[in-house]
Structure 1
Amino acid sequence: MVLLGTIVNAILIIVGSIIGRFLKDIPENMKQTVMNAIGIAIAVLGIQMGFKSNNFVIVIICIVLGGVLGEWIDLDKWLNRLGNYVEKKFGSKAAQGGSIAQGFVTGTLIFVIGAMGVLGALNSGLQNDHELLISKGIIDGFTSIILAATLGIGVLLSAIPVAIYQGAIALFATQITKIIPEAALDLFLQEMTATGGIMIIAIGLNLLGLTKIRVANLLPSLVIVAIAVTFIYNF
């Protein structure tokens, strides 16, 4: 089922939000310990994905070129601007209409904007592999508990854009298999998984507070991988 990972992710956000409404005062130490545990697990998942490559030189070249391109475009800045725009758009309404709008906007920005959702949705669509989206769902679920405890039940509604966004990517990815030769697709999946693994490691390190890597600026690496694989396959 192509949308399994997306559905699980959305459900975990909903469940976490409901739980959060009953947990008003979560101890700060507990929050930190849980997030550290998730960060370590995500980093290990990224390492596991990194070993999928049969030619790590390709991965290194793609991640470097993709990082340069991403920094030049500065995707991270544009995503933050988008977040600020949405926040301002709904800010006054949130202030007047209680915590529902504020919780919805905040949850959407946190759960939708990021590399993990893109990578996970691609894995779901291309390989029917939902491990990454389910892992993201676990992170989102715990985060939604904390958010809902402070911002209200509106966080629950952020599951809707998450489902639409990730589901659309997964469904689009399934169409790629109809136009790309199987051998080329297998090569792309190997190198994309390894390249994505590096980004997942970065996300884990960020969650641990060890780094502040702008992971969104590494996303062009996936496009570079596709170009590199096309060149290798044809020549």
Structure 2
Amino acid sequence: MLPVGVIANSVAVAIGGVVGAAIGPSLPERIRTSLPTVFGFSSCLIGISLAAKVVNLAPVILSMILGLLIGELLFLSARIENGIRTVQKKLHFELGDADYMERFTTLLLLFCASGTGVFGALTEGMTGNSSILLAKTILDFFTVIIFASTMGRFLSVIAVPQFIVMLTLFLLARVIYPLMSADMTADFSALGGILTMMAGFNLLRIKQTPVLNLLPAFLLCPILSKLWSMVF
């Protein structure tokens, strides 16, 4: 079974980054500044819709607390940022200031670890239905074009970790998915929605959160959700 949605999503991000960087100078300033706001609100809306499906709220919150503690202790966000800068140097791209890195890591999370992407990759791997990822592909394509118009074509590099993450989920889906109950899947999706909403807040400059440090929560959430269901 070919991962159509996974491939389409990653290719769209790679092409969108190049296109956005190429047409950036010709785009009116009002478009380059206003559309990211729309994408930020769109991320919040997607996040809210996924978070609303939560079944067991307590394990989701606990996974976020423990996940953040683990991420902070491991300096996960800083390690990822150092990795990005290493790739940048090897590819001879010039990155901007701390604000650039903040926006880049936020977009990295949105494209690689959003609730829609994770759930879409698992769904396609298990059922072959790529509709969720194809819908995400359309949004990601236009999102990366707009952001690449100001941030440059280095944004296309996100397509590589995005493909690796989604392909891994796609391949593991046949093992993971049958082990997850409907409640676990809903809680896992809700966690992805909350992190997507946080990333949207980052884009909107409402509240800056080190969302990458919350990534360990994805590993903890299914386990805690299962234990919660067994106890309660």
Bin of the TM-score, shorter chain as denominator length: 0.7 to 0.9
* Counterparts in 2 of 1:205 and 1:110: CA distance versus 1, 3 Å: closer
Shift of 1:35: 0.3
**Is contact 1:122-1:173 (8 Å) kept?**
no
Q: 2:123 matched to which residue of 1? A: 127
* Counterparts in 2 of 1:159 and 1:70: CA distance versus 1, 3 Å: closer
Rg bigger for which structure? 1
* Counterparts in 2 of 1:49 and 1:164: CA distance versus 1, 3 Å: same
Shift of 1:72: 1.5
Give the 3-state SS of the residue equivalent to 1:114 in structure 2. helix
The runs of 4+ residues in structure 1 deviating greater than 4 Å are 109-112, 148-152, 154-161
Is 2:112 the partner of 1:117? yes
* Counterparts in 2 of 1:155 and 1:83: CA distance versus 1, 3 Å: closer
* Counterparts in 2 of 1:194 and 1:50: CA distance versus 1, 3 Å: same
Is 2:208 the partner of 1:212? yes
Q: What is the rounded CA distance, in whole Å, between the counterparts of 1:122 and 1:165 in structure 2?
A: 8
Shift of 1:163: 3.1
CA deviation map 1:67-99 (0-9, x unaligned): 1221121211110010111122232xx58xxxx
Letter in 1 for 2:221: V
* Counterparts in 2 of 1:157 and 1:203: CA distance versus 1, 3 Å: closer
* Counterparts in 2 of 1:56 and 1:151: CA distance versus 1, 3 Å: closer
For residues 23-62 of structure 1, the aligned pairs below 5 Å read 23-62=24-63
Q: 1:197 matched to which residue of 2? A: 193
Q: What is the rounded CA distance, in whole Å, between the counterparts of 1:144 and 1:87 in structure 2?
A: 19
Q: What is the rounded CA distance, in whole Å, between the counterparts of 1:219 and 1:150 in structure 2?
A: 24
**Is contact 1:116-1:132 (8 Å) kept?**
no
Give the 3-state SS of the residue equivalent to 1:24 in structure 2. helix
Shift of 1:199: 0.4
Letter in 1 for 2:122: L
Over the aligned positions, Cα root-mean-square deviation in angstroms equals 3.3
Shift of 1:53: 1.1
Letter in 2 for 1:226: P
**Is contact 1:46-1:198 (8 Å) kept?**
yes
For residues 24-173 of structure 1, the aligned pairs below 5 Å read 24-91=25-92, 113-114=108-109, 116-118=111-113, 119-128=115-124, 131=132, 134-135=135-136, 138-147=139-148, 151=152, 159=159, 162-173=162-173
**Is contact 2:122-2:169 (8 Å) kept?**
no
Q: Tell me the TM-score normalized by structure 2.
A: 0.75
Q: What is the rounded CA distance, in whole Å, between the counterparts of 2:160 and 2:209 in structure 1?
A: 28
Give the length in aligned residue pairs.
216
Q: Tell me the TM-score normalized by structure 1.
A: 0.74
Letter in 1 for 2:88: E
Give the 3-state SS of the residue equivalent to 2:181 in structure 1. helix
For structure 1, the residue ranges without an aligned partner over 5 or more in a row are 96-105
**Is contact 1:188-1:226 (8 Å) kept?**
yes
Q: What is the rounded CA distance, in whole Å, between the counterparts of 2:150 and 2:205 in structure 1?
A: 22
Shift of 1:234: 4.8
Q: 1:7 matched to which residue of 2? A: 7
* Counterparts in 2 of 1:52 and 1:227: CA distance versus 1, 3 Å: same
Shift of 1:194: 1.1
Shift of 1:47: 0.7
Give the 3-state SS of the residue equivalent to 2:70 in structure 1. helix
Q: What is the rounded CA distance, in whole Å, between the counterparts of 1:156 and 1:61 in structure 2?
A: 34
Q: 2:97 matched to which residue of 1? A: none
